[in-house]
Amino acid sequence: MPDSSASGTPLLAVAGITKRFPGVVALDAVDFAVHAGRVHALVGENGAGKSTLLRIVAGADRPDAGALAVDGRPVSFTAPRDALRLGLTVIYQELSLVPALGAGANIFLGMEPTRHGLLDLGTEAARAADVLRTLGADFDPATPARDLSVAEQQLVEIARALARDTRLIALDEPTAALSHLETERLFTQIGELTKRGIGVVFVSHRLEEVRRIADEITVLRDGRRVFTGPAAAVDDITLIRHMVGRDIEYARVPPAVAAPGPPFLEARGLTRRRAFTDVSLVLRRGEIVGLAGLVGAGRTDVARCIAGADLLDEGSMLLSGAPYRPVSPREAIGRRVVYLPEDRKTQGLVLGLSVRENVTLPTLARFARWGVVRGARERTAAARQVAAVELRPPDIEREAGTLSGGNQQKLVLAKWLLADADVLLFDEPTRGVDIATKTELHRVIRSLADAGKAVLVISSELPEILALADRIVVMREGRVSGELTAAEATAERVLALALPASHTAA
Amino acid sequence: MKTRAAARLGVPLALAGIVVVAGVFIPGFMSRANLTTILLHVSINGILALGSIFVIITAGIDLSVGSVVGLAGVLAAAALTSGAVLRLVGPTGAAMVAALVGLGTGALVGLVNGSIVARLGVAPFIVTLAMMTAARGAARLVTGGVPIGFPDPGDPLYGQKIAALDALHAVGGGRIPVPGLPTGFPVPALVMLVLVALGGFVLTRTRFGRHVYAVGGNEEASRLSGVSVGWVKLGVYAIAGASAGLAAVLLVGQLRSGGPDAGMLYELNAIAAAVIGGTSLFGGIGTAWGALTGALLIGVLNNGLDLLGVQSFWQEIAKGVIILLAVLFDVWMKRMDARRWRDRAAGESAGAA
């Protein structure tokens, strides 16, 4: 990096930004600054607040408190248009190109060159070719966006920003879907951007990459800024500690019985192409197994396959000694295996239905005779479940979509508790809920295991896995990389198994 | 909830308003005979709208119901006046066979629609658009383009066929004597009211009905909850098809003939009634009661403008305006709802923090 000093007025300065969503504080008085021609990396676990911060910089969300300044002058955005006008560009993970339009047309979308009121296709093509060439692109600007690779599409987005004379580009997890070679090329392009004096925000959880290109690093955790400093002055272990938050520890909830039973669900050599390979694991009644790993390690895919939501390509499972290979969630539920998805809004609940209707959705047959629902029985059961998970408010006729995040998660739990399953697969059960609710949910999960259920918990939050799991299975890049008992497990050991091999040496 | 305040009250209030205004200003509007006529005119569209809302609540659409009315109608009429059927079961029997043929044709077409949507995952708009064209073509093919019904005076079975047409007319055009109502109560209107009650019961009180709302509200969450999404879809298209078949039978009875071009554009009238009645084309929202009130609103409006001697062209424009107003009202209510949730959620999170 040419100049290591970060002095002078920052290009973008964010001070004391707070953003609340129902049930959770996404950002809590966060400060953050980017200087022209420098790369500032933003790292942290999922749910740490990185994306929210980017959305605020982009003018897509408005902060509840705090201030933004560009070149030291205070600014406020009412729409993404305002941020763009000041030269702030955010490139999200979900790229926003029009698939059927060519790369060139995408670059100039909304500011098409015209002559006599008509599109000036010649100028557009020439300028698109120009800007793409400066970025080292080797594809035809007329290629429709849908025919470009993810890396090429990213490049088109960057080119679009350059064509708008952008001053800052924020990239949200740009390398998540890139190959090694494509990542290298992206880094070269980022180098080109900084040479032109453009400030870059680079969001990633891959420390190796952050280390290579960042001048400064900021770590966010649970919506708070926990570290900012020059990249050269901090080592990986310190960063990891900041990310996973060794200082937050949930009280460990110990099992009631010391020894769990014999294997209840045994999975051998499970493989689903492009998701995970040769995964074997065992769940026992009375035991909580934690499934740890980075995002994209294949944990959710494994749980979905066990629950019949996706189909396995290879492998076999035994459930209570009998062969088990569900082809639909319905079949899995029939075998008393249930999956509690991470995304409550899109997979867990029907937001337009009432609390009652959501609670009884998987078990409605029990409250029906000849297909007719017996209202009194249904209401009694729903009310009992709602009380059991302490849903607030305990109103069974309220629309599920009006509940806060934590209460929606409780509702998902209430629904599946009613199903009285033997095997419960929790996917990020406490994502986006406040600490108090987290602790409550931990207690409920433990009581399920104590009641003889076999429980699997997927969590990206290490302290949660450490507090909850009796045994921890760690996945890395689609494979099981190791298994630890609660007694052996420490944050460092789990991370060492979860991170790609190159990190452990550092 | 699927019965938002807007859907529950907005349309009935508008309907009541129009009825009161029409009653005051249009002589003859409030007569029992005229109100009965409105119900009769509304009944076919009401039945089709009721069938359609099942599909629309699952976030689907059925464009084929109008053509199915045509196809099921000509097949029912053909069965009704078929020599073989008449010789075998007589005129009354033939009327029953015709009713079953009409209903069965509709249900079968619906099952085909449903299986393609559910098993092959083709967009409902495309599947039912194709079916709309194909079913209309089939109806014309079967009849050679001319209506089936009234027999040739020289037909050896002339008397039998007339008797069969009369038998079905007792249903499609029949009147039930009611004290104080000289014209009697039209059978199709009674059928519509019974079906609306039944449809409302199925939607709100049965597992199937619950699953219809769940699939329309969030298909993936429903699947993960063990709902058989495919069967639910198959079911709703079969219901829409069967109600089109039933409407066809009533229509053939009423007109004493089945024409290949019958039911043209009926699908759009049914969708209009559903939308005016508060059904959301995005799925998850709608009621049987709403379908009925939507159909009634259109019917009352047509009737009132008729009595005023307004040209039918103006009536069409009026209907267009009403549809737009109904949807705008829906959008507006949704925005109010969203604002209310946001305020409430903000209050709660501030309280928790």
Nearest to B225 among A361, A373, A434 (CB): A361
Encode pLDDT of A208-231 as tens digits.
788 889 999 999 988 889 999 998
Across all residues in chain A, what is the average pLDDT?
Answer: 88
| pLDDT reported for residue A438 | 82
Encode pLDDT of A444-471 as tens digits.
899 999 999 999 999 888 888 988 999 9
Which structure tokens are listed for B311? Answer: 């040209």
Q: Is the pLDDT of residue B8 over 90?
A: no
| pLDDT reported for residue A394 | 87
Tell me what percent of the residues of chain B surpass a pLDDT of 70: 92
Q: Is the pLDDT of residue A272 over 80?
A: yes
| pLDDT reported for residue B345 | 54
Q: Is the pLDDT of residue B90 over 50?
A: yes
Mean pLDDT of A194-207: 89
B226 vs A330: CB contact, 8 Å cut-off?
Answer: yes
Across all residues in chain B, what is the average pLDDT?
Answer: 89
| pLDDT reported for residue B62 | 97
Tell me what percent of the residues of chain A surpass a pLDDT of 90: 49
Q: Is the pLDDT of residue A342 over 60?
A: yes
User: Which chain A residue is nearest to residue B228, measuring alpha carbons?
Assistant: A330
The answer to which of A342-346, B22-26, B144-148 has the lowest mean pLDDT is A342-346
| H or E stretch covering A495 | helix A491-498
Q: What is the distance, to the nearest Å, from the Cα of residue A246 to the centroid of all Cα atoms in its chain? A: 20
- Chain A residues touching chain B at CB-CB below 8 Å: 20-25, 307, 309, 328-330, 333-334, 339, 341, 346-354, 357, 361-362, 364-365, 368, 371-373, 375, 397, 399, 401-402, 404, 415, 434
**What type of residue is A276?**
F
| Bridge partners (DSSP) listed for residue A337 | A423
Q: How confident is the model at residue B147 (pLDDT cuts 50, 70, 90)?
A: very high
Nearest to A352 among B2, B228, B345 (CB): B2
Encode pLDDT of A32-88 as tens digits.
999 999 999 998 876 788 888 999 999 988 999 999 999 999 999 988 888 988 999
Sign of CA dihedral B215, B217, B220, B223: negative
DSSP label of A346: I
Which structure tokens are listed for B292? Answer: 């009925």
Q: How confident is the model at residue A316 (pLDDT cuts 50, 70, 90)?
A: very high
CA distances from A342 to A291, A478, B74, B262 (A): 14, 18, 53, 51
Residue B50 forms contact with A (CB below 8 Å): no
Instruction: Count how many Cα atoms sit within 13 Å of the Cα of residue A370 in the half-sphere of its side chain.
Output: 1
* Dihedral angle over CA of B222, B225, B229, B231, nearest 10: -140
Which structure tokens are listed for B233? Answer: 């879809």
**What type of residue is A43?**
V
Say what the pTM is.
Answer: 0.80
Encode pLDDT of A282-307 as tens digits.
999 999 999 998 777 899 999 999 99
| pLDDT reported for residue B134 | 97
* Residue B27 burial (C-beta neighbours within 10 Å; 0-12, 13-18, 19+): exposed
Q: Is the pLDDT of residue B10 over 50?
A: yes
The shortest C-alpha distance from B285 to chain A (Å) reads 8
ipTM, two decimals: 0.80
